[in-house]
Every structure is written in structure tokens, then in C-alpha cells.
Amino acid sequence: MHPLVELAKKSVETYIREGIKLTPPEPLPPEMSGKAGVFVCLKKRGELRGCIGTYQPACESVGEEIIINSLSAATKDPRFSPVSEEELNDLTYSVDVLSPPEKIAGFSDLNPRKYGIIVKSGSRRGLLLPDLEGVDTVEEQIRITKMKAGILHHEEVELYRFEVKRYI
């Protein structure tokens, strides 16, 4: 298991079992230093169980970002009830470290396998990670992301793309 995924798993398990929030390891390994947006997704028997993240860094290090977002994915994803101790052995984890978002001109700059997207209209914004099962076209990627943001299909949006390094 990759150290980033191991940190996410250990963070959730320690918090759920003991109520203790971990701190990043000292010294920070190179892959946990630096700043970046991070998404942590939990699956239970192949089905999404929680996924929370930041598209821009909110913490001092990738390690801290993983800890915060893994706990949020396990306990604060509004689509799911908080993870229970009985579920811990059934969970699998993935950690996506995001590149900084870049504004793009249009659909031709997108590829749903390679790029995640952010759509923005006024104060509404939605994000969709890349390379998701069942999302095979740019049009589908944009439709889902607009829906997540509460943006109607005919509304104009600003488009941003980003890449991820996915660890499982």
C-alpha cells in the first residue's frame, strides 16, 4: 500500500476507533511535503462510501491535507452517514493529489480520462475527478459537474482542468 493511502487508512481507523486525529509523520516523507489539493475517496465493496477533497491546498502539507480530507470523507460527506467501526475492514481507499487548476477555452482542451474539471458560474462551482467509471465523454463529464454545482445545462460556465496522481 502506498504511504499516502496508508496515511488515509490509518487516519480514518484511528479516528473512528479512538477519537484521535493523527498528525503528519515527522519528518515528513517527500511525497507528503509540499502543498497540493487532495481528494480522499473511500469505497465499501466497490461502491462509493465517501469522497471529500480540496482542489487547492488548505493545509501546510499534502500529509495534513490527507488527514483532514480522509476524516471528512469518512464522517462529513453529506451523501452518506458517518463510517462505523464495523465497516472499517470493508473499506478501500484512494488518494488523488491534484495539479493546480488551469482555465481552458473549451471542450477540445478536455479528456475525461486524463483531466478532472471544475465548472464555475457566479458563486456556484462543481468539481469532478478524472478517470471515473461510466464517465466516458467530455459532454457527460460537464453535465455531471454542472449538476453537482446546481448549474442548469444551458448556463454558460468557466471551465478549468487539472490532472491527478492517483494512489490506491
Per-residue pLDDT reduced to its tens digit, 42-88 = 999 999 999 999 999 999 999 999 999 999 999 999 999 999 999 99
State the Cα–Cα distance between residues 83 and 75, nearest whole angstrom: 6
- The arithmetic mean of pLDDT across residues 21-49, rounded, is 96
Cα atoms in the Cβ-side hemisphere of radius 13 Å centred on 74: 29
State the Cα–Cα distance between residues 42 and 118, nearest whole angstrom: 21
Residue 60 DSSP SS3: coil
Per-residue pLDDT, 86? 98
Per-residue pLDDT, 100? 97
Q: Which CATH architecture has domain 3-98?
A: 2-Layer Sandwich (3.30)
Per-residue pLDDT, 124? 97
Kindly report the CATH class assigned to 102-167.
Answer: alpha beta
How would residue 1 be classed by pLDDT, with cut points 50, 70 and 90? very high
pTM of the predicted structure, to 2 decimals? 0.94
State the Cα–Cα distance between residues 38 and 54, nearest whole angstrom: 5
Per-residue pLDDT, 130? 97
Share of the chain above pLDDT 70, in %: 100
State the Cα–Cα distance between residues 100 and 78, nearest whole angstrom: 26
Q: Using the structure block, give the residue that is written with the C-alpha cell 463529464.
A: 141
User: What is the domain partition of the chain in residue ranges?
Assistant: 3-98, 102-167
- The arithmetic mean of pLDDT across residues 110-139, rounded, is 96
The mean pLDDT value of the chain amounts to 97
How would residue 105 be classed by pLDDT, with cut points 50, 70 and 90? very high
Amino acid 24 reads P
- The arithmetic mean of pLDDT across residues 86-102, rounded, is 98
Per-residue pLDDT, 142? 97
- The arithmetic mean of pLDDT across residues 145-160, rounded, is 96
